[in-house]
Structure formats: structure tokens, C-alpha cells
Chain A
């Protein structure tokens, strides 16, 4: 399995290196893997690539954590208070349907070319899958389990910590997986709309300069940031949801 996986990767790199030339595709459409690697090394030296990558990664990390915390808090608040959900649900639905990336220009008007608009778009886009999953988990909890805890004289706080919070963990992690893939999009859109820092800025710059290899490098780095975040979620999930039967766990 691992061997097949490694072979496929080598085959993919080889195809990327030689296929475009074989089919007569010019380098400004698909640069070869060698060209992209050279561009990567050039950007490391001349374009402060590490700095821009770190800025984007930092915004993704902060936006993700804040969005997740906000989503968890709102999910529980609405889940435990049916009247609050009833009153707020039209607004939540509207905000959920609204394309979150459209808020990027607005946030730039509000906060200027700083890191804040990017983090805000990220929070907004991460928030929904988390909130919806936590809300659903609270609603789906068997009321008899809560009755059992109450019959054991559990207080409201005990019911939350011993029953409701742990019961919400599997859906929460399903939401975290989705949110991890969305977090990078949120920050990237913010960076594309305005500013002169982050991988989104380098991406826009590479496009303007017709430097396809530069665009490739930034896409790959953005993907790597997403993979690291997703990997962290999977790692934590493995520790928290260790009790689930193997068939209920996702392989990746």
C-alpha cells in the first residue's frame, strides 16, 4: 500500500515534469515541476516567502481557533435554548446562506489593509459548520440520558460537562474537518482583496506578473497550510474520539 502510494507520487511528479513539453503545452500555462522548484527557491531568497507564509498560517490559525470557539459557544447556547434558536434562526439562516467571502471587501473598508479583515473572514467561514454541528448534536441527544443524570441529582452544570459536551464531540469533529478546509479559503480571499502581505498577495502579484510558476508555488503552500491544519484536527480527533468503534472513524 505504502509502496503503491509512493510510486504514484513519483509517477505524478514525472508526468508533471515531462508531459506538458510532450504535448507542447507552454511553460506559462503549466510550468514543469523543476521550474516551480526553482521559482520556490528564488522566492525564498528574494520575496520573503517564509514571512508571507508565516503571516498566512498565523491568520489561518487565529481565525480557525476563534471561529471554532465562537461556533461551539453559539451552538450550545442555541441548542440549549429552543426559544433563542426560534427567534434567531432566520438571521442565522440568512448569514449562513450569504457568501461569506463577499464580506471581505466590507471588512477591508472597516479595518484597512491589516490582518484583521482576513482573520474576520476566516472566523465567519469557520463558524457555521461548527455551530450547525454542535447545535445538531445538542438537539439529537437522547432526553432520557439527561433525565437519567437529573435523577442522579445532577446540576445543570454537571449535565453540561458530563453529558452534553462529550455527547457533542463526534459531530463537532466532523465540523472541525470541514472548517479546517475552509479556514484557508477565508484568509486567502481577504488577502486577495487587499493588502501587501501573505500568500494571497504573492498569488495576486504572480498573476499580475504573468509568473505562472509563482502562482503554482503559492497554491502549493496554501494547500500545505490546509493539510497541516487538517492533520492537527485528525490528530486531536484520534485522541478525543478514541472510544468510537473503528468502523465509525474516518481513515483520513
Chain B
């Protein structure tokens, strides 16, 4: 794995959960990974392999039982303003307008009203939602809501983005549009991202590298470098002839065909 200046690093991280029936369940075991500055890395693996657990530890919401998580070389001891996460659910607050939702993170950090409004409006324009700033979440479609959630995540200017299947609840076409938005935005802003997904093509289209995890207890069993150009243009990347080979490789690693047989 890369030893360049890592934005996000997991060093031999293990996480166990107490389970009333099974005693302790090991969610992830001995996971080491690092994501360099400006890199997009996807985590892929069977359901329940501890991907989301890794993300929670990265966000400082849940400490590991052993090993350590570092952001910009500093040990993560709790939530930090340098890390922001985005989930499958948009989690927009229904009582706030879209622009107020985008401002939430900055508001919590104590950014002055005018500055945070300016930044929120700027991001909403970039996320192609400028006409909906004063709407309430229920007035927007699922894709627009998820774009607003992306703007909210970017508004705190985090150095690392943690994304847990952010597009999995969207229909196939909306999903492709949002992948394109995300690919562009990540490239434009030079953000570092760890991206969890079940969608193999999505992983290939968006990432520099893909890490494949085993079933529980989750371990990283393979690292695949996606050697396809145009990471800033997932739509174009999808059409690249090599995508199929990567998908087949991932299918084999995840033993998808055996599961269907």
C-alpha cells in the first residue's frame, strides 16, 4: 500500500461488539489501510463485513478496540472538523430550508452567519440546486436531497469525506448523474474520500483504488488499483472497455457467482 502522506490511515484496527447471544462479535480485524491526499478509495465487501464500522471509527463516533485511526497524521479521538460523513439517508432536517440544512455543520462549528450563508449558497450553486435554497426538504426529489446532503458535507471543508453508500437509495439514472457530480466535485476540490458501496461499477467508475473486504470478521483481502483515466468523469469512465474486467475480478473476489449457484 502507498506510504505517501496519508490523509486517512487505519493501523491494525480491530473492533468488537458485545452481542447478548454470541458474546463478542468481531466486526473488523487487523485492518490497515491508508488514503492519500486527493485519493478516492472504495471499500467493497459482503453485507455485514464491517465496512460501516470502519467508517464510524474514521468519523470518531466509535473508538477501535485496538489499533489506531489517524487523520492527517493525528490520532482520531472523537469527532473532528476535518472529517465529514454522508450516508445513504440524506438526513436533512425537515424544519430547515435547504440552505439552512447546508449550513448546519458550519453553524455547529460557530462560523459567522454571513460567511456560512455565502459558502452554502456557493456550494448549492455548484451542486446545481440554486433555485431550491429556500425550499424545504420534502419539496425536493431524492436525487436533489442527496445533492443537498453532499453540499452540507462539503460546507465544513473537511479534508476527508467518508461516504456510506450515499447513492444506493436512488434510481439507476439519478444515481449516474450524482456519481458524475461527485466525481467532478471531488476532482475540483481535491478532496480525499473513503467510499463504501455495493455497486461494483460505481466503485470502478469513481475510485483510484478499490479495497475488497472478506465476510465477518472483516479483513482487507485485496487491493485493486483502477488504471482507467478520467477519474473526474465517471460517466466517461463507465464506458471504458476495461470496466468489465474489473467488475469480473470483483465478482470473483466476492464469490458472487457461487452465491447465486
Residues of A within 8 A of B (CB): 142, 144-145, 147-154, 158, 162-163, 166-167, 169, 243-245
Contact = CB atoms under 8 A, between A and B. Distances in A.
Q: Which of B56, B79, B85, B95 has the most CB of A within 10 A?
A: B95
B14 to A, nearest CB: 22
A72 to B, nearest CB: 17
Contacts of A152: 79, 81, 84, 104-105, 108-109, 156
Query: Chain B: interface secondary structure?
Result: loop
B217 interface: no
Nearest to A145: B91
Contacts of B89: 142, 144
A162 B87 contact: no
B108 to A, nearest CB: 5
B105 A243 contact: no
B105 to A, nearest CB: 4
20 contacts: A144-B89, A144-B91, A145-B91, A145-B93, A147-B56, A147-B61, A148-B85, A151-B79, A151-B83, A151-B84, A151-B85, A152-B84, A152-B108, A158-B108, A162-B104, A166-B95, A167-B95, A243-B94, A243-B97, A243-B136
A142 B90 CA distance: 12
A120 B126 CA distance: 57
Interface in B49-91: 56, 59-61, 79-81, 83-85, 87, 89, 91
Contacts of B12: none
B138 interface: yes
A151 B61 contact: yes
A149 B61 contact: no
A163 B92 CA distance: 11
B108 A149 contact: yes
B107 interface: yes
Interface in B94-128: 94-97, 104-105, 107-109
A166 B92 CA distance: 13
Contacts of A142: 89, 91
Contacts of A169: 95
A154 B60 CA distance: 12
Nearest to B82: A153
A226 B159 CA distance: 56
Nearest to A154: B108
B81 A153 contact: yes
A151 B89 CA distance: 15
Instruction: Give the one of A142, A147, A163, A245 with max B CB within 10 A.
Output: A147
Contacts of A166: 93, 95
Contacts of B95: 166-167, 169, 243
A153 B110 CA distance: 11
A149 B104 contact: yes
B160 to A, nearest CB: 11
A243 B92 CA distance: 13
A152 B82 CA distance: 9
Nearest to B59: A151
A144 to B, nearest CB: 6
Interface string B173-205: 000000000000000000000000000000000
Nearest to A240: B95
B97 to A, nearest CB: 8
A148 B156 CA distance: 13
Nearest to B62: A147
Top 7 nearest A-B pairs (CB, nearest first) are: A152-B105, A154-B108, A152-B108, A151-B59, A153-B79, A166-B95, A243-B136
Contacts of B96: 243
Nearest to A241: B95
A167 B80 CA distance: 24
Contacts of B107: 162
Contacts of A147: 56, 59, 61
A148 to B, nearest CB: 5
Nearest to A148: B91
B138 to A, nearest CB: 5
A153 B93 contact: no
Given A145-B93, A151-B79, A152-B108, 10 more contacts: A142-B89, A144-B87, A147-B61, A148-B85, A151-B59, A152-B84, A152-B109, A154-B108, A243-B96, A245-B139
Contacts of B79: 150-153
A245 B139 CA distance: 8
A150 B94 CA distance: 18
Contacts of A163: 93
